[in-house]
Amino acid sequence: MANSENMIICRCEEVTYGQLRTTVDKHKCTARELKLRTRAGMGFCGGRTCRPTLDRVLDSFIPNFSPSEIPLKYQPPIRPVSFGRIGEIHD
Amino acid sequence: MTRIIDHPVLGRLENRNVISFQFDGNSYQAYDGESIAAALLANGIRKLRVHEESGSPRGFYCNIGHCMECRVTVNDHSNVRACLTVVENDMIIQSGKQLPNLLKKGGQSNE
Amino acid sequence: MNDVIVIGCGPAGLSGAIACVTYGLKVTIMDEFMKPGGRLLGQLHQEPTGDWWNGIKVSEQLYQQALNLGVNIRCGVSVYNLEKEDQMWKVYTSIGTFEAPFLLLATGAAEYPIPVPGWTLPGVMSIGAAQVMTNVHRVQIGKKGIIIGANILSFAILKELQLAGITVNHVVLPEKNAFSQNAGVPEEVMKSLLNAAHLAPSPLLRFGSSFMKNNWIRKMGLTFYPKKGMKVNGTPLLLRKAAVEIIGEDQVEGVRVIDIDINGNPIPGTESTYEVDFVCIAGGLYPLAELASVAGCPFQFIPELGGHVPHHSESMETPLPGLFVAGNITGIESGKIAIAQGTIAGLSIVKHARKGNNSIDNQLQQAIQNVHSVRKQAIIKFNPDIELGRSKMNELWESLYVKNETPGKMTG
């Protein structure tokens, strides 16, 4: 994967494969820590596009890591919403 | 790009209402009821915005509202998904622009 | 006041709503897309009988049926959060907050991305995006293009693109790496395509599926796999070429490819460039379960079902009271399965709402049986081990949530 160092994994925050790899090497990160350090998966789409890829990055970087160990945790709002909407009741 | 008017299984597109809209100051035509992304692609426009920080060009990627890559400004409302928003007559649409000096460190730790 | 809110107006959501409203429940369906039908819209394939499965028509029938029965359908509405308060689900949406005691999540699937250098260029899209643009919006995605990723979904959509007169010049594999995994290994791709031979996208598979299942013959086949590929309806399937980079200034102008051996390793000095104006990335589907996660539903990773799926029973109930699931959120399968699962979920809700008569249990059992028979007749199987995946979830459900009354097994 010589030409993959500059390959963008997280499109929203333009985080590359190389950045993820060096961050894991340096800090021995958990999934959560890797995201917080690089902002991968924390951009506008909320990881909707790159999340499965990030799981696979961790899978390949961390020995004996299994995707089944990643808790599937999403934070609301899971879609962009304007401040005016929040709290409005409609029924 | 052109439209797929005749389709061997889905049939022929009936005459639909033509409307007009603006994108980055230019006027284009669209069919009533179609998405902004479809209307722009039919007019040959793929680039909907540039990345706010790097300026790299972006278009729609998933086309069903997940990836947020196609976000544009519609009648002064920013971050509207072009793939999920129906184009309307006289709509003023603007592409997403590069922003100066965003606070972001992208993978650099500050230790 | 709603009795039931259904999130997702695809095959599962519509059929679930129909089952609920038939028993007098008040139902609202919400969907982000501008038209009802979900990803059923755009699906187009020929059945073994020669008849066309036209997702747009099937959607229209379900939609009209639901409307006639009085289902309230709101398209263009995004749901961004869920909460449970006083036995009621609060559904936060782009048009305000709604409440109901029962919630059916039928949010379908999302696509696995396969990152490729240059994949942020305009003109690069997921294969599903190409399907929607072609069959739903009826706009050409380009003059000539390439598909990266050879799998069931990409073949099904390749056929649809060809039908619409779109030129797809080649199907190539992604480069072998941590993200593409088996999708970048010709031998593994061949194996999975052979499992789908009933789809018969190519003469190679139709003709060779039985004896290609033999390992040795398959390796031979791949070793001598023609450089120019086998044609799938006129588009060469290049199992021995991988996409290295997508190039272009302001949009896609070409794809650099390299020859690979049967294990996916690049052969130095074999690079070439295909000139294209669009690229479709086909990484397969995974259950889109973010709302179940936000609601607090527990999950299990089951590869045969496509990824993380919310815990659910065969009756489509989750461990959270009032929360039900149906369709691809429970595992990746065809639209027909989603319709059948929606009916189960709807009948389950009817039962929990105590609206059904004496025969509701019976009907529920019949609906569950129906899913099994639809699955047996399926011509599109996204995962050959789908039955295994389903039984894994059933066993998990039994072990976690079904009280075992057998004496002697009652351990603390």
Same domain (yes/no): C47, C79? yes
For residue C410, pLDDT beyond 50: no
Q: Do A7 and C98 touch (CB under 8 A)?
A: no
Q: Which of B67, B75, B108, B111 to mutate to test the interface with A (most CBs of A within 10 A)?
A: B67
Distance between first and last Cα of chain C = 42
Strand pairing class (C235-247; C167-174): parallel
CB-based contact B108:B59 (threshold 8 Å): no
Same domain (yes/no): C146, C186? yes
Q: Do A48 and B67 touch (CB under 8 A)?
A: yes
Q: Is residue C409 part of a domain?
A: no
CB-based contact C250:B47 (threshold 8 Å): yes
A60 membership: H or E segment, kind and range: helix A51-61
Contacting residues of A for C119, CB less than 8 Å apart: 8, 11
Other CB atoms within 10 Å distance of the CB of residue C46: 13
Helix (H, G, I), strand (E, B) or coil at C170: strand
Domain that residue C298 falls in: 4-110+285-401
Query: Which residues, at least 6 apart from C214, have a Cβ–Cβ distance to it below 8 Å?
Result: none
Same domain (yes/no): C69, C92? yes
Note if the bond before A71 is cis, omega within 30 degrees. Answer: no
Q: Is residue C331 part of a domain?
A: yes
Query: Of how many residues is chain A composed?
Result: 91
Same domain (yes/no): C126, C255? yes
For residue A24, pLDDT beyond 70: yes
The pLDDT of residue C334 is 92
The pLDDT of residue C202 is 47
Q: Is residue C397 part of a domain?
A: yes
Same domain (yes/no): C117, C207? yes
CB-based contact B23:B74 (threshold 8 Å): no
Domains and CATH numbers, chain B: 22-94 (3.10.20.440)
Same domain (yes/no): C157, C40? no
* Nearest C-alpha neighbor of B46 from the set C255, C276, C125: C125
Report the amino acid identity of residue C236: P
Chain A: partners with 3+ C-beta pairs within 8 Å: B, C
Burial class (CB in 10 A: 0-12, 13-18, 19+), C64: exposed
Same domain (yes/no): C123, C98? no
Q: What pLDDT digit, counting tens, does each position of C158-186 carry?
A: 999 999 999 999 999 999 988 888 899 99
> What CATH number is attached to the domain comprising C26?
3.50.50.60
- pTM, two decimal places: 0.92
Same domain (yes/no): C252, C150? yes
What are the structural domain ranges in chain A? Answer: 2-85
Same domain (yes/no): C230, C318? no
CB-based contact C121:C248 (threshold 8 Å): yes
Count of domains in chain C?
A: 2
Same domain (yes/no): C136, C224? yes
Rounded mean pLDDT, A78-86: 67
Q: Is residue C406 part of a domain?
A: no
Same domain (yes/no): C19, C143? no
The pLDDT of residue A83 is 57
The pLDDT of residue A1 is 45
The pLDDT of residue C244 is 95
Q: Is residue C408 part of a domain?
A: no
Q: Quick one: pLDDT band at residue A57, thresholds 50, 70, 90?
A: confident
Q: What pLDDT digit, counting tens, does each position of B48-105 carry?
A: 999 999 999 999 999 999 999 999 999 999 999 999 999 999 999 999 999 886 555 5
Chain B: partners with 3+ C-beta pairs within 8 Å: A, C
Helices and strands in chain B, H and E counts: 1, 9
Q: CB-based contact (8 Å) between B63 and chain C?
A: yes
Report the amino acid identity of residue C68: N
Same domain (yes/no): C44, C124? no
For residue C209, pLDDT beyond 60: no
Q: Is residue C407 part of a domain?
A: no
